[in-house]
Structure 1
Amino acid sequence: MIKVEEIIEKYKGYEVDEEKLKEFLTPPKPKTVWDLKKDDIYWYFSSFGMLISDKWNNYDTDIARRSLGSCFLTKEDAEFEVERRKIEAILLKYGKKVKSSQNEEYFILYDFVDKKVAIYPSGGVCYQGTIYFTSYALAQKAIKEAGKDNIKKYILGVDVEYVKKG
């Protein structure tokens, strides 16, 4: 597909029947869910993970889905989020999102130098979005059940294919 800017350069000096032109134009797609306009298609998933498409109408349900992070531009984005939440649920079976200020806890990270999923003590720091484990052993159990590749891909955002090549 060619962009309007390219057409302008290519056909400079031509005259255009604007009504006929409108028939051929495709409006720009939203770049984020915050750009959705009336009748744009978006995706969400039900409480049991079924993917559903809907038209944006600025209804309370549309706005609620978006504000809760359950509104996606593509089916693939919605599928990814369903899988991410499944893996996060497994990790939360063994850990929690709130760090205890008094006790040493552990978290999972990806070490790009050693190219591996690792468990580190949290020290005196609390990281945004991190799941904390009260013991090293619980973190190990979580990794075993969730799977290292799933943790890399869905939780840590590491490109699993790139890591395998590298």
Structure 2
Amino acid sequence: MNLQEELKALKERIAELEELTKEEREFPQDGDAYWFIDDEGGMSSTFYKNYYLDIYRQKIGNIFRTEEEAEFAAKKLRVEAELRKFSRPFKEDEYNYFIQINSSHNNIVVDSDDCYQTQGTIYFKSTTIANEATDTV
């Protein structure tokens, strides 16, 4: 390998290491490009400038490294919004049905609990309603 080829390979390796360093450091930092979910549910991008909009987006978790991450988050929000149309608040000493994914069997199951409320779980009045919600989404 001649000197020019070695130099080119070294520059490529430095670029790879810089990319790794970018991924490992705290995100976002001033000047970083980021994606967010806009007011209409679409994906938009901008640069982080520690501006009040950047800070508010960061506080609610609406800053993403890639467009794909933002799209996934938006889809998740749409699914949760649809499920909540069928839901009700957790009621102590009553059956509270919720949806689980059984990773071992790769299927969806409905379970219930009457005393333990798990943060972030969407609860339903009955198995029928929970199943109807999963069929809808």
Do the two structures share a fold, i.e. TM-score over 0.5?
yes
Distance 1:113 1:61, change over 3 A: same
Number of positions where the alignment pairs a residue of Structure 1 with one of Structure 2: 126
Given the alignment of the two structures, is residue 2 of structure 1 paired with residue 22 of structure 2, yes or no?
A: no
Q: Structure 1 unaligned runs (5+)?
A: 7-24, 147-166
1:105 corresponds in structure 2 to 96
**Which of 104, 114, 118 is 1:127 aligned to?**
118
Runs of 4+ in 1 over 4 A off after TM superposition: none
Q: Helix, strand or coil: the match of 1:126?
A: coil
Counterparts of 2:69 and 2:19, CA distance in 1: 22
Equivalent residues of 1:30, 1:36 under 8 A apart: no
Equivalent residues of 1:106, 1:120 under 8 A apart: yes
Counterparts of 1:111 and 1:26, CA distance in 2: 36
Q: Helix, strand or coil: the match of 1:62?
A: helix
2:60 corresponds in structure 1 to 68
- Cα drift, residue 79 of structure 1: 0.5
Q: Structure 2 unaligned runs (5+)?
A: 1-11
Note the 1:3-152 alignment, pairs <5 A.
Answer: 3=14, 28-31=21-24, 35-96=27-88, 98-146=89-137
Distance 1:113 1:130, change over 3 A: same
1:16 corresponds in structure 2 to none
Distance 1:125 1:3, change over 3 A: farther
Counterparts of 1:111 and 1:141, CA distance in 2: 18
Counterparts of 2:118 and 2:93, CA distance in 1: 15
Over aligned residue pairs, what C-alpha RMSD do you find?
2.4
Counterparts of 1:3 and 1:79, CA distance in 2: 31
CA deviation string 1:36-57 (max 9, x = no partner): 1111000111121121101000
Query: Structure 1: which amino acid aligns with 2:103?
Result: F
- Cα drift, residue 128 of structure 1: 2.1
Counterparts of 2:104 and 2:115, CA distance in 1: 23
Q: Helix, strand or coil: the match of 2:49?
A: coil
Equivalent residues of 1:106, 1:133 under 8 A apart: yes
